Amino acid sequence: MKIGILGTGGVGRTLAAKLNSLGHEVVIGTRNVGDTLARTAPDGMGSPPFKVWHSQNSKVELVKFSEAASFGEMLFLATFGDKTLASIDMAGKQNFDSKVVIDTTNPLDFSKGVPPKFTVTLGNSLGEQIQKQIPNAKVVKAFNTIGAHIMVTPMREEGSPDLFIAGNDDDAKKKFVSLAEQMGWENVIDFGDISQSYWLEANAMLWIHYGFKYNNWNHAFKLLKK
Protein backbone atom coordinates (compact mmCIF):
# COMPACT_ATOMS: atom_id res chain seq x y z
CA MET A 1 0.00 0.00 0.00
CA LYS A 2 1.09 3.61 -0.59
CA ILE A 3 1.41 5.34 2.74
CA GLY A 4 2.03 9.00 3.46
CA ILE A 5 3.19 10.13 6.87
CA LEU A 6 2.96 13.74 7.99
CA GLY A 7 5.61 14.59 10.55
CA THR A 8 9.32 13.77 10.73
CA GLY A 9 9.67 13.37 14.51
CA GLY A 10 10.05 10.13 16.44
CA VAL A 11 6.54 8.89 15.67
CA GLY A 12 6.70 9.63 11.96
CA ARG A 13 10.14 8.08 11.56
CA THR A 14 9.32 4.97 13.55
CA LEU A 15 6.10 4.33 11.65
CA ALA A 16 7.80 5.03 8.31
CA ALA A 17 10.65 2.62 8.93
CA LYS A 18 8.37 -0.15 10.13
CA LEU A 19 5.80 0.20 7.37
CA ASN A 20 8.54 0.33 4.77
CA SER A 21 10.12 -2.81 6.24
CA LEU A 22 6.75 -4.52 5.82
CA GLY A 23 6.88 -3.86 2.09
CA HIS A 24 4.76 -0.71 1.86
CA GLU A 25 5.74 2.28 -0.24
CA VAL A 26 6.19 5.03 2.30
CA VAL A 27 6.91 8.72 2.01
CA ILE A 28 7.35 11.06 4.94
CA GLY A 29 6.15 14.64 4.69
CA THR A 30 7.52 17.83 6.19
CA ARG A 31 6.84 21.54 5.94
CA ASN A 32 10.06 22.30 4.07
CA VAL A 33 12.33 19.53 2.79
CA GLY A 34 15.41 21.72 2.63
CA ASP A 35 15.01 22.94 6.21
CA THR A 36 14.44 19.44 7.53
CA LEU A 37 17.56 18.09 5.82
CA ALA A 38 19.63 21.09 6.91
CA ARG A 39 19.10 20.52 10.63
CA THR A 40 22.19 19.37 12.50
CA ALA A 41 20.88 19.42 16.09
CA PRO A 42 18.54 16.96 17.82
CA ASP A 43 14.87 18.01 17.72
CA GLY A 44 12.82 19.20 20.71
CA MET A 45 12.12 15.64 21.80
CA GLY A 46 15.79 14.64 21.61
CA SER A 47 15.61 12.73 18.32
CA PRO A 48 18.78 12.97 16.19
CA PRO A 49 18.73 15.24 13.12
CA PHE A 50 16.46 13.88 10.42
CA LYS A 51 19.26 13.39 7.91
CA VAL A 52 20.96 10.93 10.29
CA TRP A 53 17.83 8.81 10.40
CA HIS A 54 17.29 9.26 6.68
CA SER A 55 20.76 8.00 5.79
CA GLN A 56 19.72 4.68 7.37
CA ASN A 57 16.22 4.72 5.87
CA SER A 58 16.81 6.02 2.41
CA LYS A 59 13.96 4.05 0.87
CA VAL A 60 11.55 6.39 2.63
CA GLU A 61 11.42 9.50 0.52
CA LEU A 62 11.25 12.87 2.26
CA VAL A 63 8.70 15.11 0.55
CA LYS A 64 6.55 18.18 1.19
CA PHE A 65 3.35 17.71 3.24
CA SER A 66 1.26 18.13 0.09
CA GLU A 67 3.17 15.43 -1.77
CA ALA A 68 2.91 13.03 1.17
CA ALA A 69 -0.83 13.60 1.44
CA SER A 70 -1.29 13.25 -2.28
CA PHE A 71 0.86 10.09 -2.50
CA GLY A 72 -0.67 7.99 0.26
CA GLU A 73 -3.76 5.82 0.06
CA MET A 74 -3.54 5.78 3.82
CA LEU A 75 -2.15 8.77 5.71
CA PHE A 76 -0.75 9.07 9.21
CA LEU A 77 -0.83 12.34 11.14
CA ALA A 78 2.29 12.35 13.31
CA THR A 79 2.94 16.02 13.98
CA PHE A 80 2.80 17.80 17.33
CA GLY A 81 -0.87 18.20 18.23
CA ASP A 82 -0.73 21.98 18.15
CA LYS A 83 0.59 21.87 14.59
CA THR A 84 -1.70 19.21 13.16
CA LEU A 85 -4.49 21.38 11.78
CA ALA A 86 -1.99 23.78 10.18
CA SER A 87 -0.10 20.84 8.68
CA ILE A 88 -3.28 19.55 7.09
CA ASP A 89 -3.97 22.99 5.61
CA MET A 90 -0.45 23.11 4.27
CA ALA A 91 -0.86 19.63 2.81
CA GLY A 92 -4.01 20.68 0.94
CA LYS A 93 -7.31 19.50 2.35
CA GLN A 94 -8.42 18.03 -0.97
CA ASN A 95 -5.49 15.61 -0.81
CA PHE A 96 -7.21 13.86 2.11
CA ASP A 97 -10.51 13.23 0.31
CA SER A 98 -11.78 9.64 0.60
CA LYS A 99 -8.59 8.53 2.32
CA VAL A 100 -8.09 6.68 5.56
CA VAL A 101 -6.34 9.15 7.88
CA ILE A 102 -4.85 7.80 11.07
CA ASP A 103 -4.66 10.48 13.73
CA THR A 104 -1.95 9.60 16.24
CA THR A 105 -1.73 13.13 17.67
CA ASN A 106 -2.67 14.59 21.04
CA PRO A 107 -3.91 18.08 21.97
CA LEU A 108 -0.97 19.05 24.14
CA ASP A 109 0.74 22.30 24.98
CA PHE A 110 4.36 21.86 26.00
CA SER A 111 5.05 25.60 26.18
CA LYS A 112 4.94 25.65 29.98
CA GLY A 113 7.03 22.53 30.43
CA VAL A 114 6.06 18.98 31.31
CA PRO A 115 3.72 17.34 31.93
CA PRO A 116 2.07 19.19 29.05
CA LYS A 117 -1.31 20.89 29.34
CA PHE A 118 -4.41 19.40 27.71
CA THR A 119 -5.89 21.89 25.25
CA VAL A 120 -9.32 20.64 24.19
CA THR A 121 -12.76 20.33 25.73
CA LEU A 122 -15.44 17.69 25.53
CA GLY A 123 -17.08 17.64 22.10
CA ASN A 124 -14.11 19.36 20.48
CA SER A 125 -11.31 16.83 20.72
CA LEU A 126 -8.44 17.09 18.27
CA GLY A 127 -9.70 13.98 16.46
CA GLU A 128 -13.08 15.64 15.96
CA GLN A 129 -11.50 18.92 14.85
CA ILE A 130 -9.48 17.03 12.26
CA GLN A 131 -12.52 15.14 11.00
CA LYS A 132 -14.37 18.47 10.65
CA GLN A 133 -11.43 20.01 8.80
CA ILE A 134 -11.32 17.17 6.25
CA PRO A 135 -14.93 15.95 6.19
CA ASN A 136 -14.38 13.78 3.12
CA ALA A 137 -11.57 11.85 4.80
CA LYS A 138 -12.11 8.86 7.06
CA VAL A 139 -10.32 9.77 10.25
CA VAL A 140 -9.36 7.01 12.66
CA LYS A 141 -7.99 8.02 16.05
CA ALA A 142 -5.35 5.50 17.08
CA PHE A 143 -1.90 5.03 18.60
CA ASN A 144 -2.24 8.14 20.78
CA THR A 145 -1.73 6.41 24.14
CA ILE A 146 1.54 4.64 23.47
CA GLY A 147 5.07 5.55 22.51
CA ALA A 148 6.30 5.15 18.95
CA HIS A 149 8.39 2.07 19.73
CA ILE A 150 5.28 0.30 21.02
CA MET A 151 3.23 1.27 17.97
CA VAL A 152 5.56 -0.87 15.88
CA THR A 153 6.47 -3.53 18.48
CA PRO A 154 3.33 -3.90 20.54
CA MET A 155 4.07 -7.08 22.45
CA ARG A 156 5.25 -6.31 25.99
CA GLU A 157 6.91 -8.58 28.55
CA GLU A 158 3.71 -8.25 30.57
CA GLY A 159 1.42 -9.14 27.71
CA SER A 160 -0.26 -7.87 24.59
CA PRO A 161 -1.65 -4.36 24.96
CA ASP A 162 -4.89 -3.23 23.32
CA LEU A 163 -5.05 -1.03 20.28
CA PHE A 164 -7.66 1.62 21.12
CA ILE A 165 -9.35 3.15 18.08
CA ALA A 166 -12.29 5.40 17.23
CA GLY A 167 -13.69 6.75 14.00
CA ASN A 168 -16.87 7.22 11.98
CA ASP A 169 -16.12 4.83 9.13
CA ASP A 170 -16.14 1.09 9.79
CA ASP A 171 -14.37 0.23 6.57
CA ALA A 172 -11.55 2.67 7.36
CA LYS A 173 -11.17 1.14 10.80
CA LYS A 174 -11.00 -2.32 9.22
CA LYS A 175 -8.29 -1.21 6.81
CA PHE A 176 -6.25 0.30 9.61
CA VAL A 177 -6.67 -2.75 11.82
CA SER A 178 -5.46 -4.95 9.00
CA LEU A 179 -2.31 -2.82 8.74
CA ALA A 180 -1.89 -2.81 12.53
CA GLU A 181 -2.06 -6.60 12.52
CA GLN A 182 0.87 -6.62 10.11
CA MET A 183 2.69 -4.53 12.71
CA GLY A 184 2.03 -7.14 15.40
CA TRP A 185 -1.15 -5.91 17.07
CA GLU A 186 -3.37 -8.72 18.32
CA ASN A 187 -6.17 -6.99 20.21
CA VAL A 188 -8.20 -4.05 19.01
CA ILE A 189 -10.86 -2.15 20.90
CA ASP A 190 -13.07 0.02 18.76
CA PHE A 191 -14.67 2.54 21.11
CA GLY A 192 -17.03 3.89 18.48
CA ASP A 193 -17.28 7.06 16.42
CA ILE A 194 -14.84 9.96 16.32
CA SER A 195 -16.46 11.63 19.33
CA GLN A 196 -14.69 8.96 21.39
CA SER A 197 -11.46 10.77 20.52
CA TYR A 198 -12.04 12.95 23.54
CA TRP A 199 -11.81 10.00 25.91
CA LEU A 200 -8.82 8.57 24.08
CA GLU A 201 -7.05 11.92 24.23
CA ALA A 202 -7.91 12.20 27.93
CA ASN A 203 -6.57 8.67 28.36
CA ALA A 204 -3.29 9.90 26.89
CA MET A 205 -3.04 12.25 29.87
CA LEU A 206 -3.14 9.31 32.29
CA TRP A 207 -0.48 7.67 30.16
CA ILE A 208 1.64 10.86 30.15
CA HIS A 209 1.30 11.54 33.88
CA TYR A 210 2.34 7.97 34.60
CA GLY A 211 5.33 8.37 32.30
CA PHE A 212 6.62 11.53 33.95
CA LYS A 213 5.87 10.36 37.49
CA TYR A 214 7.57 6.99 37.13
CA ASN A 215 10.06 7.90 34.38
CA ASN A 216 8.86 4.91 32.38
CA TRP A 217 7.78 5.16 28.76
CA ASN A 218 7.35 1.47 28.08
CA HIS A 219 3.80 1.38 29.34
CA ALA A 220 0.65 0.57 27.42
CA PHE A 221 -2.96 0.04 28.42
CA LYS A 222 -4.77 -3.25 28.23
CA LEU A 223 -8.45 -3.73 28.95
CA LEU A 224 -8.97 -7.08 30.65
CA LYS A 225 -12.30 -8.30 29.32
CA LYS A 226 -13.17 -11.24 31.56
How do strand 108-109 and strand 100-103 relate by DSSP bridges?
unpaired
Residues 6 or more apart whose Cβ sits within 8 Å of residue 131? 137, 139, 168, 194
Nearer to its own copies, 136 or 218 (CB): 218
CA angle 53, 59, 60 (to 5 degrees): 65
For residue 77, which phi and psi values (nearest 5 degrees)? -90, 115
Name which position in 1, 33, 183, 205 contacts its own copies (CB under 8 A).
205
Assess contact for 40 and 113: CB atoms under 8 A: no
Comparing CB distances to its own copies, the nearer of 71 and 143 is 143
Considering only residues 106-145, where is the footprint of its own copies by CB under 8 A?
A: 118, 121-122
Give 24's DSSP letter: -
Smaller CB separation from its own copies, 132 or 222? 222
- Which residue number, 25 or 193, has a Cβ lying nearer to its own copies? 193
Among 147, 156, 168, 184, binds its own copies (CB under 8 A): 156
Q: Is the CB of residue 123 less than 8 Å from the CB of residue 157?
A: no
Task: Give the chain's radius of gyration (CA, Å).
Answer: 16
Residues from 161 through 200 that contact its own copies (CB under 8 A) = 161, 164, 189-192, 196, 198-200
Residue count (the chain): 226
Region of 20-28, 43-51, 63-71, 203-211 interacting with its own copies (CB under 8 A)? 203-211
Least CB distance to its own copies at residue 105 (A): 18
**Residues that bind its own copies in the complex, under the rule CB under 8 A:** 118, 121-122, 156-159, 161, 164, 189-192, 196, 198-200, 202-203, 205-206, 209-210, 213, 216, 218-226
